[in-house]
Structure 1
Amino acid sequence: MRWSAGRYGTTEEARCPRGGHPVPGVEAAWTADWPAARVRSVSDGPVSLAVIGDCGAADDQLVSRLRAVRAGRWRELTRWPGSYLVIARDGATLAVIGDLAGQHPVYWRSHGHVLWWATSALALAALDGAPVDPTALAAHLALAQPDVLGRRSLMRCVSRVPGGHLLLADPSGARTERFEPAEYGSVELPVAAATVRAALVEAVAARCDGRPVSADLAGLDSTTLACLAAERGPVTAVTFADERLRDDDLPYAKRTAAAVSGLTHHPVPGTANTVYYDGLDDLDRLPVTDAPNAYAVTASIKRAVLDTVAAHHPAPGLYLTGSAGDAVLSAPSSYLADLLREGQHRRAWSHALGHARLRHTSAWSVLGRARPASRTDLADAWRQTAAELRGPVREWVPQASRPLAWTPLLATADWMSPDVRHQLAAALDTAADQLPDAPARLAAWSDRQDLARLGADTTGWRQLAAEQYGIALVAPYLDNEVIRACLAVPADQRGAPGRYKPLLAKAFTGAGVLPDFVLARTTKGGFNALAYAGLRENAPVLLDLLGQSSRLAAAGLVTEQPVARMLQRAAAGQPTAQGALHLAVAAEVWLRQLETAAPAWWEVTSRVAAG
């Protein structure tokens, strides 16, 4: 696993990451398993700045930002293309800044009378064997929004830096400070389009550095990245084309490869094993990730794609994925609650009509789902959720049939023991009482939470690609500058019904990057068929994972009967709480791996005074 860590303070024990390398020019900071080319630093006397990851800044740009370090203008250090961690130090002041999507998370804790920070919560827990925090894991399963419990991580005694914040340490102590606004100002879609195009061009260019390039070639998001990369050199383009999907990704991919110079296309046919939940009877094949990871469930599909990439590349290179394109380029209908809250009733009605046509329902029904969320704020919504957790378990209905919510309560919450539900409710009440600077719009909150969840999951996929294939997976839609450019556009413009990905279409129409037929596309592939096939075919394995021997069950985080009933529904082809099962299985896999395959994180080199 690639990770970074550091220390602030003086200790007699010189501890560092096992196999780690000091960050040049930065006191008491290390990287583990990061290529030297992805670790860069500059310094001037007591002022130093390091970037770790894919950072598009030239060396002279890093040097010029030393002034920002001296002045504490931290946000300026996050404006380069790419996705990276920042370590900045000015004498006794240390700032550690992750990215907006959580691909480079930051955690911290006190140990041995000093402050330790790392991009891995597991590593910090391993300093003294701190266990998993069951209430935090309950929040992960029941709410699936990383920032709900603020600074509480999945590991006891380990704090996390919430999204849009940085870790700041000085002689007065350690604290988190916000560097990113909780909500962006509004930029009209036609005005923002050029900025979005420039951000994506720079995001792809920052990665195309001579390594062999491969890319997804499926939906509009991934096709855009593949075509941008093809402007800079040859691209091995792959399309997962399992016939059970019955989508039109493959015809579009073939047509695009024929029209765009530089794209060499390879379809990836499905097999009996390319379904969800395949291979979970052998957890040794999965990398140990820092948190439960969604790609544990779809690893066989990802391996099929990476096998094809590896077969057509003379050496490992980089792989562009369109992951998170949906999250930044469009928006769910929850923005209707914001329109109602702001008194934009005519616009809300117009949009509700469009969403109703897509869902074959009435506009009144669409607005009815949105109205409760329009009448509350984030803190009160959490208090309402806490009250719901203290009440009786709900009868299951699809999430799309429930009212819109700031923090939807998932079916996993109904599988938990009463004691765990009450502990989670208490934690939510505390979080609501302590909530600082919350966004006023539901869309602003949910956009950020979706990105944080996707960023964490993509990190797990990246780990599989790196450890088993030597391939560097990159997700440009999760870059800071891409996120900023896209989310500045109001959600009701990004997600307007009747217009598919209008922001991307406006950004690239007439730019000569994408063929016109790609920009005119209005369809999108989906994996539901493979999810249901995997549920049916791997039901015995899933029943074992989440049954009597389940680690989640032992902690009261699931109970056996409701899970068994949900799997029976799946076997019968009935609607199923797929997202809830996905979360539970990934968490169970993670807990079992921590018991049997947790890596050795640290080594003690000597016992001398250190700063």
Structure 2
Amino acid sequence: MRWSAGWFGQSKRSRAPRGGEPVPVLQSAWTVGWPGGGVRAVGDGRAELAVIGECGADTDQLWRALDTVRSRDWRALTTWPGSYLAVARCGEALAVIGDLSEQHPVYWRPERSGVWWSTSATALAALDGAPVDTVSLAARMAFGQPDVLGTRSLFRTVNRVPTGHLLLITPERTAAVRYEPAEAEPVVDLSRAAPTVRAALTAAVATRLGDLPVSADLAGLDSTTLVCLAAQRTQVTAMTFADERLRDDDVAYATRTAAAVPGVSYHAVPGSPDTVYYNGLDDLGSLPVTDAPNAYVVTASIKRAVLDAVIERQTAGVHFTGAGGDAVLSAPSSYVSDLLRSGQRLRAWQHAQAHARLRHTTALTVLRRARPASRSTLTEAWSQLAAELRRPPRPWTPQAQQPVAWTPLLATAAWMAPDMRHQLAAALDTAAADHLDAPSTLAAWSDRQDLARVGADTAGWSEIARTGYGVELAAPFLDNEVVRACLAVPAEQRAAPGRYKPLLAEAFTRTDVVPDFVTKRVTKGGFNALSYAGLRENAAVLRDLFGPASRLAAAGLITDAPVADMLTRAATGQPTAQGALHLAVSAEVWLRQVDTAMTSWWEVNSRAVAA
């Protein structure tokens, strides 16, 4: 696994990451698994700056940025194209700055004479064998929102830097400090934002292009846009997963796009009996170790089929994916709650009517679902949620039929033991009391949480691509400046009913970059058929995974009866909480991996010992 770490304190440390390479210029900082070109640093004695990852700043820009470091304008260090970690030192202050989408998360743990920081919570836990924080893991499973418990990580004694914050270490304190506003400032109309989105996305793609071969997914509007942008500069090998069970029109659009865009070599990847959800879970050794539970363990066989097809046609290079596009270009219909909150009743009614037509329901039903969230704040909602956890679980109903919520309570919460639900409720009460900078709108909160969840999962997908194929995954929609440009547009404009991803269409219509028939597309493929097929074909594997040896069951994070009932429903094709099952599967796999991964992170730092 790729990771970075560092020590900032009064004394040298006797340990260093196993196989780590010292970061140039910075003292006591290392990277593991990063190629040389992915680590760059500058310094003049008074200030130091390192960027780790895919950063679009050239050497001159990095040197000029030392003035920014001296002025401690930390946010300005996050505005270059690409996906990277920034580490900056000025005097006795050190800032470690991850990205907005959690592809480069930051963790820390204090010691008596200093602070360890890292992009891997597991590595910091391995310093002394700190155990998993089961309550924090329960929160991940029950809510699906990474920031609910703030700085609490998945390991005891290891702290997490929440989304939009940086780690700032000074002689006076070590803390997570916000560098990104909780809500977009200023709000920008969609038509005015479109050129900025186009420029940011173009730069994000260009930053990843070099001498390596380029491949890409070619399916929906998001990935198609990336293919078109990359093909302006280089040859692109484009892939569509084309399992006949999907019954969508991705292949038709992909074929038409490849014919219209020069520089695109197109290939459809046929499905097979093995390319279904949950395949391969009987051999956990074939899955890469990730720093947190990762959703892509569920779909690994499908991702591998595409990467197999890429490697058959070219050497390992860069593979573009549209991951994150849904999170920044669209918005859930929960923004209707914000319209009600702000008194825009007529506008809320109009949007409710449009959403009702799409979902074959009534506008009153849409408004009834939206109204409770419009009457509460985030912290009030958490207090109400804590009270709900202290009561017996209610019968399962699909999320689409439940009231809109700041933090939805997922079906996994109903699978937990009563004691675990009570511990989670207590943690939620504490989080509500401690949360000081909550956004005023539900859309602003949920947008950031969706983004962080997708980004963290994409980091896990990157591990699959890199460890199994030597392929670098590129997800430009998750770049900081792309995120900022998109989320500056109000949710009701990004998700306007009757138009599919209007922000991306507005950004590229009549530009000769993306064909007009693509920007006018209103359909989107889905994988439900492969999910249900995987549930049927791997039912025995899933029962074994959650059986007597289950780590989740041992911790009280699942109980036998509701899980058995859910697996029975799923295997017979009945409606079930598939998203919740994905969370549980990925958590179970991760817990089993943690058992074997805690001994290989650190080694004696011979230089420090000699000193």
Counterpart in the other structure of 1:139: 139
Give the whole-Å Cα distance in 2 for the aligned partners of 1:113 and 1:191.
Answer: 51
In the alignment, does 2:410 pair up with 1:410? yes
Counterpart in the other structure of 2:434: 434
Give the whole-Å Cα distance in 2 for the aligned partners of 1:397 and 1:133.
Answer: 29
Give the whole-Å Cα distance in 2 for the aligned partners of 1:267 and 1:386.
Answer: 48
Q: Do the aligned residues in 2 keep the contact of 1:6 with 1:28 (CA within 8 Å)?
A: yes
Give the whole-Å Cα distance in 1 for the aligned partners of 2:189 and 2:599.
Answer: 48
Q: Do the aligned residues in 2 keep the contact of 1:111 with 1:127 (CA within 8 Å)?
A: no
Amino acid at match of 1:512: D
Counterpart in the other structure of 1:538: 538
Amino acid at match of 2:304: R
What is the CA-CA distance between 1:570 and the residue it aligns to? 1.2
TM-score, normalising length from structure 1?
Answer: 0.99
Counterpart in the other structure of 2:55: 55
- The aligned runs of 1:512-551 (5 Å cut-off) are 512-551=512-551
Give the whole-Å Cα distance in 1 for the aligned partners of 2:489 and 2:516.
Answer: 23
Q: Do the aligned residues in 2 keep the contact of 1:288 with 1:598 (CA within 8 Å)?
A: no
Give the whole-Å Cα distance in 2 for the aligned partners of 1:610 and 1:363.
Answer: 72
What is the CA-CA distance between 1:597 and the residue it aligns to? 4.5
Give the whole-Å Cα distance in 2 for the aligned partners of 1:108 and 1:578.
Answer: 34
TM-score, normalising length from structure 2?
Answer: 0.99
Counterpart in the other structure of 1:492: 492
Give the whole-Å Cα distance in 1 for the aligned partners of 2:316 and 2:541.
Answer: 34
CA deviation profile, 1:434-462 (whole Å, cap 9, x unmatched):
00111000000000000000010000000
Counterpart in the other structure of 2:256: 255
Give the whole-Å Cα distance in 1 for the aligned partners of 2:454 and 2:599.
Answer: 24
Counterpart in the other structure of 1:272: 273
In structure 2, the CA distance between the partners of 1:328 and 1:12, relative to structure 1 (3 Å rule), is closer
Query: After alignment, is 364-373 or 43-52 more displaced?
Result: 43-52
Q: Do the aligned residues in 2 keep the contact of 1:12 with 1:607 (CA within 8 Å)?
A: no
In structure 2, the CA distance between the partners of 1:256 and 1:354, relative to structure 1 (3 Å rule), is same
Q: Do the aligned residues in 1 keep the contact of 2:126 with 2:598 (CA within 8 Å)?
A: no
Counterpart in the other structure of 1:207: 208
Counterpart in the other structure of 2:453: 453
Counterpart in the other structure of 1:45: 45
Amino acid at match of 2:248: D
What is the CA-CA distance between 1:548 and the residue it aligns to? 2.3
Q: Do the aligned residues in 1 keep the contact of 2:129 with 2:598 (CA within 8 Å)?
A: no
Counterpart in the other structure of 1:371: 371
Q: Do the aligned residues in 2 keep the contact of 1:548 with 1:560 (CA within 8 Å)?
A: no
What is the CA-CA distance between 1:92 and the residue it aligns to? 1.1
Counterpart in the other structure of 1:243: 244
Amino acid at match of 2:518: V
Counterpart in the other structure of 1:218: 219
Give the whole-Å Cα distance in 1 for the aligned partners of 2:59 and 2:348.
Answer: 49
Counterpart in the other structure of 1:466: 466
Give the whole-Å Cα distance in 2 for the aligned partners of 1:322 and 1:112.
Answer: 44
Counterpart in the other structure of 2:507: 507
Number of matched residues? 610
Give the whole-Å Cα distance in 2 for the aligned partners of 1:9 and 1:79.
Answer: 28
Give the whole-Å Cα distance in 2 for the aligned partners of 1:111 and 1:362.
Answer: 58
Counterpart in the other structure of 1:81: 81
Q: Do the aligned residues in 2 keep the contact of 1:316 with 1:471 (CA within 8 Å)?
A: yes
Give the whole-Å Cα distance in 1 for the aligned partners of 2:460 and 2:111.
Answer: 27
Counterpart in the other structure of 2:590: 590
Counterpart in the other structure of 1:71: 71
Give the whole-Å Cα distance in 1 for the aligned partners of 2:77 and 2:596.
Answer: 39
In structure 2, the CA distance between the partners of 1:210 and 1:361, relative to structure 1 (3 Å rule), is same
Give the whole-Å Cα distance in 2 for the aligned partners of 1:596 and 1:92.
Answer: 37
The SS at the match of 2:204 is helix
Give the whole-Å Cα distance in 1 for the aligned partners of 2:162 and 2:368.
Answer: 32
Give the whole-Å Cα distance in 1 for the aligned partners of 2:232 and 2:512.
Answer: 10
Give the whole-Å Cα distance in 2 for the aligned partners of 1:186 and 1:91.
Answer: 36
Amino acid at match of 1:135: V
Give the whole-Å Cα distance in 1 for the aligned partners of 2:452 and 2:589.
Answer: 21
The SS at the match of 1:238 is strand
Q: Do the aligned residues in 2 keep the contact of 1:241 with 1:267 (CA within 8 Å)?
A: yes
Give the whole-Å Cα distance in 2 for the aligned partners of 1:569 and 1:274.
Answer: 22
Counterpart in the other structure of 2:558: 558
In structure 2, the CA distance between the partners of 1:23 and 1:378, relative to structure 1 (3 Å rule), is same
Give the whole-Å Cα distance in 1 for the aligned partners of 2:360 and 2:519.
Answer: 26
Give the whole-Å Cα distance in 2 for the aligned partners of 1:3 and 1:392.
Answer: 41
Q: Do the aligned residues in 2 keep the contact of 1:13 with 1:604 (CA within 8 Å)?
A: no
What is the CA-CA distance between 1:28 and the residue it aligns to? 1.0
Give the whole-Å Cα distance in 2 for the aligned partners of 1:263 and 1:163.
Answer: 36
- The aligned runs of 1:164-179 (5 Å cut-off) are 164-179=164-179
The SS at the match of 1:65 is helix
In structure 2, the CA distance between the partners of 1:243 and 1:440, relative to structure 1 (3 Å rule), is same
What is the CA-CA distance between 1:172 and the residue it aligns to? 1.0
In structure 2, the CA distance between the partners of 1:94 and 1:100, relative to structure 1 (3 Å rule), is same
CA deviation profile, 1:13-53 (whole Å, cap 9, x unmatched):
42111110111011111100100001011111121101000
Q: Do the aligned residues in 1 keep the contact of 2:201 with 2:477 (CA within 8 Å)?
A: yes
Q: Do the aligned residues in 2 keep the contact of 1:48 with 1:90 (CA within 8 Å)?
A: yes
Counterpart in the other structure of 1:329: 329
In structure 1, stretches of 5+ residues that fail to align are none
Give the whole-Å Cα distance in 2 for the aligned partners of 1:580 and 1:520.
Answer: 33
Counterpart in the other structure of 1:3: 3
Amino acid at match of 1:307: D
The SS at the match of 2:605 is strand
Give the whole-Å Cα distance in 2 for the aligned partners of 1:542 and 1:34.
Answer: 35
Counterpart in the other structure of 1:182: 182
CA deviation profile, 1:472-522 (whole Å, cap 9, x unmatched):
001000000000000000000000111101000000001110111111110
What is the CA-CA distance between 1:10 and the residue it aligns to? 2.9
In structure 2, stretches of 5+ residues that fail to align are none
Counterpart in the other structure of 2:601: 601
CA deviation profile, 1:221-253 (whole Å, cap 9, x unmatched):
000000100000100000000000000000110
Give the whole-Å Cα distance in 1 for the aligned partners of 2:95 and 2:400.
Answer: 42
What is the CA-CA distance between 1:571 and the residue it aligns to? 1.8
CA deviation profile, 1:294-333 (whole Å, cap 9, x unmatched):
00111000000000111111x2110000001011011110
Query: After alignment, is 31-40 or 564-573 more displaced?
Result: 564-573
Over the matched positions of the two proteins, sequence identity in percent amounts to: 68
Give the whole-Å Cα distance in 2 for the aligned partners of 1:155 and 1:108.
Answer: 11
Counterpart in the other structure of 2:283: 282
Query: After alignment, is 12-21 or 571-580 more displaced?
Result: 12-21
Counterpart in the other structure of 1:296: 297
Counterpart in the other structure of 1:570: 570
What is the CA-CA distance between 1:526 and the residue it aligns to? 0.3
Give the whole-Å Cα distance in 2 for the aligned partners of 1:377 and 1:484.
Answer: 24
Counterpart in the other structure of 1:391: 391
Counterpart in the other structure of 1:342: 342
Counterpart in the other structure of 1:154: 154
CA deviation profile, 1:256-312 (whole Å, cap 9, x unmatched):
001100000011100000000001000000001000000011100000000011111
Q: Do the aligned residues in 1 keep the contact of 2:126 with 2:599 (CA within 8 Å)?
A: no
Q: Do the aligned residues in 1 keep the contact of 2:293 with 2:590 (CA within 8 Å)?
A: yes
Amino acid at match of 1:303: R
Q: Do the aligned residues in 2 keep the contact of 1:11 with 1:112 (CA within 8 Å)?
A: no
Give the whole-Å Cα distance in 1 for the aligned partners of 2:173 and 2:324.
Answer: 36
In structure 2, the CA distance between the partners of 1:610 and 1:435, relative to structure 1 (3 Å rule), is farther
- The aligned runs of 1:26-41 (5 Å cut-off) are 26-41=26-41
What is the CA-CA distance between 1:195 and the residue it aligns to? 0.2
The SS at the match of 1:206 is helix
Counterpart in the other structure of 1:192: 193
What is the CA-CA distance between 1:375 and the residue it aligns to? 0.2
Amino acid at match of 1:231: Q
Give the whole-Å Cα distance in 1 for the aligned partners of 2:235 and 2:12.
Answer: 53
Counterpart in the other structure of 1:128: 128
What is the CA-CA distance between 1:213 and the residue it aligns to? 0.4
Give the whole-Å Cα distance in 2 for the aligned partners of 1:35 and 1:189.
Answer: 39
What is the CA-CA distance between 1:111 and the residue it aligns to? 3.5
Q: Do the aligned residues in 1 keep the contact of 2:221 with 2:521 (CA within 8 Å)?
A: yes
